[in-house]
Each structure stands twice: as C-alpha cells, then as structure tokens.
Structure 1
Amino acid sequence: MEIGASPLFRGISEESQQAMRTCFDMREVSFRADEVVYDFGAGRNMVGVLAEGAAVIERIDQQGSRTILERLESGGVFGEMLMFENVAGDSITVVAETACRVWFMAADQVTKRCEKACTHHTQVVENMFQLVAEKATSLYERVEVLSRRSIRDKLMCYFSLMAAKNRSGEFLLPFSLSALADYISTDRSAMMRELKKMRQEELVDVHGRKVLLQQGV
C-alpha cells in the first residue's frame, strides 16, 4: 500500500509523504498471522498504520471471553488516541489475521507542534481528528448492536447497518462468521442456529461472508 492510501495521510502530496517519514520517525515492522501487533496495555502510546494485511482489535475480559472491537484492513489506523479508556482493565490487543506490515510512529510526534511548520503535519492532525470522529460513530453502531436483547435482534441490527452502508441489501461481511459471533458477543453455535432459522423464514440468506437481506425486511 502506498502511504497516501491511508485515511491518516489523505490530502498529502507524494513529495510531502516522503518528508513525513523523517518528520514522524516512522518505522516499519512485519508480523506473522496470529501474532500480537500491538498491546494497548504496554504504555507505548504509538500510532500504527496497517500498510499490508488484515488485523483485528480484540478484547479479552477478566473471564477470558473474546470480543472483536474492530477489524483493520490495509490503510487502517490504531493507537491509544483512537481508543476509549479501558476502565475495566481488560486485555486489548491488535492481532494479525494475516501476515502484516505496519508503520509505527510515536503519538507525540504526530500531535506536537511542528518546529518547521510543515503543512503535511497540520493535515495529519486534522485527519486524526476526523478519524476520532469516525471511531466514535463506529462505537455508536457497536452499542446499537449490543444493546439488542436477542441474537436475532443483534444480527438484524448489524445486517441493517451494513446494508445502509453499502446502499444494498446484498453485501459482504468484513470478517468471518466466527468473528461475527465475537463481534456481537454471542456463542457461535447459537448464532449459526439462529441464522438457519432466519434463512428458513426467508428473512436473510447467508453464504460464507455473503449476506442477502430479503426484500421487506
């Protein structure tokens, strides 16, 4: 992925992108699938940009239950400044789904006042604020899903949100069905049984990651 393809660096010229590597002291690190990319509890306060591959931000609570907070694809951004406070003290990490390349930079390098008054530095700060707003919207959507009482209601809420984003009743899930169960915080077997019932009632058709909401739903 070219550095400018990330939303953190939108609106920045190719020439400025090269200068930015030095300005932000960016370094690239490679990870294998299933390897921990970043631990939010380690106190590193970094900003990471997924240059290649896919990863998930996952939470493991005190009882050992796993919840997917967000899925990251090429261009995705993560870091403490984009997360809400972990008051429960749960383990929150970024884990590679596939082999990944990640660009890291210290958060204070991004947010501090630039001595050279670089225009690209100002643009990155503006982009960061935009990302924070987008993360807040994503959190609101997650709360909407998890606030539903039944598995069916959670699924229908999530599918409706995805259909609205894609402007179509037919869309691809951003992750596997196992990951979907983690995302809506429910047992995978129970979720699959509910999906089977919903298919029989002609509410929704699911094949792998492909979902079709039936008309009128």
Structure 2
Amino acid sequence: MLSPEELKESPIFEGISYQSYLSMIDCFQAIQKTYRPEDVAYDFERGGDQVGILERGEASLIRIDEDGVSTVLENLTVGGVFGRSLAFSGGSRDSMEVVCRTACDVLYIDFPHILKRCEKACTHHSLLVQNMLLLITGKAQALAERIDVLSRRSIREKLLCFFHQQAEKAGTNSFTLPFSLSMLADYIATDRSAMMREMKHLREEDLIQTDGREITLLG
C-alpha cells in the first residue's frame, strides 16, 4: 500500500486523496502483491481481465517469440499500468510477460470494476479512469516512437533515431538513457555487441559523446 507521500508521486492516482485511495481499494476489491527482482508479475496468457498498477519498483513488458527470443516492449516505472485489456497486441503466437527489474509492489484491479458505473458516483473513480486514459494515450505515443525506431534499417539509424527522440524530450542534446545499455539493445532489437560497436563508431566520428548512460549528440 502506498504512503500519502508516494501517492502524490503516482500519475495513475493524480488528484486522488489518500482517504479516497483507501476507499477505492475496497470499492474495486483490489489485490496487492509484492514481487522480487526477476519475478513474473503478469502473464498475458493467464492474466485474465486484471489491470496491474505498479506502485513501487521497476518492471519491463517482455515479448517472447516462438524461438525464445525476448524483446523489451516497454519499461514500466511507478504508476505504470499493464494488462491484457490495455495491450496493443494482435493475433501473434508470441507470449508476453511483465518481469520485475527490482522489487515491486503491484495493485491489481479487475478491469470490469474500472469500467462499470460506480453506484456512489465516486469522484475518485472518475479521476482514476481519466488518469488511466491519459496513461493509455502515453502508451500509444511510446508505441509510435518504438515503431519509428524499429522501422530504421541499420543499427546506426536506429540508435540515432532513438537518441534524437530522447534529446527532444529532454529539450537538450545531452540526456540520460532511460534504461541500461543491455535494455537499449533489446529496445532496438539488436545484438548488444553489435550495438556497442556502432556506438564506438559514432563516438569516433564525433557524432556522440557517452559517459555511461549519459549521451550527448554532437552532429
């Protein structure tokens, strides 16, 4: 359960008081669970209609294809939402899981409880739906950005596309990668060693400077 201070930092509960948050957990018959790093918090084949809300920690939405190759589709932080009802997925046979990167606390709510009209006409219910719609809009934007990156033909083009996206968000040519280099390789769907070689070439050509996860675009 979130503390009053943590509640203020969670985008899914923006505008909702702590007392309303406690009432909502009871009203929605929500279930809270705690996970360790590398635990699977949600399996899209068996998750049913539950929506998960990440209250603490970091997790990743992973797609696993028929050959067992894993690809990071989304990185989830506090306030992130996930669930089969919210997934942008088609009829693929690939499996999808939410894997905890750190220790995580997750609040699960049955999606029908969110959609149905609250008998008490609770304000916090309407706010939660509004906040969730905003987060889904953000998911759609993130998906569009990912497609833009993956549509590039070479590793170099994918890296530069992603770096320019991050620079635009930061409002400066210097920014911090939102995840590790290994996860960046997963994000652009390429081998980490090949990606590191290309980043070395970009540095040698004075197109970028790097310091760990700190990146500066020069060209």
TM-score range, shorter chain: over 0.9
Matched, 1:98 2:125: no
Q: 1:5 to 1:24 in 2, by over 3 A?
A: farther
What does residue 184 of structure 2 align with? 180
Aligned partner letter, 2:118: C
Q: Secondary structure at the match of 1:42?
A: coil
- Separation in 2 of the partners of 1:43 and 1:35? 15
Contact 1:146 1:185 in 2 (8 A): yes
Which moves more between the two structures, 38-47 or 132-141?
38-47
Deviations 1:97-141 (A, max 9, x none): 111111111111111111111111111112222222111111100
Deviations 1:27-82 (A, max 9, x none): 22111111111011114221111111111001011122211011111222212232
1:19 Cα deviation after fit = 1.2
Aligned partner letter, 2:77: E
What does residue 92 of structure 2 align with? 88
Name stretches of at least 5 consecutive residues in structure 2 with no aligned partner.
none
- Separation in 2 of the partners of 1:115 and 1:89? 39
Name stretches of at least 5 consecutive residues in structure 1 with no aligned partner.
none
1:210 Cα deviation after fit = 1.3
Matched, 1:137 2:132: no
Contact 1:82 1:131 in 2 (8 A): no
What does residue 77 of structure 1 align with? 81
RMSD value, Cα: 1.3
Where do 4+ consecutive residues of structure 1 move more than 6 Å? none
Q: Secondary structure at the match of 2:67?
A: coil
Aligned residue pairs, count: 215
Aligned partner letter, 1:168: T
What does residue 168 of structure 1 align with? 172
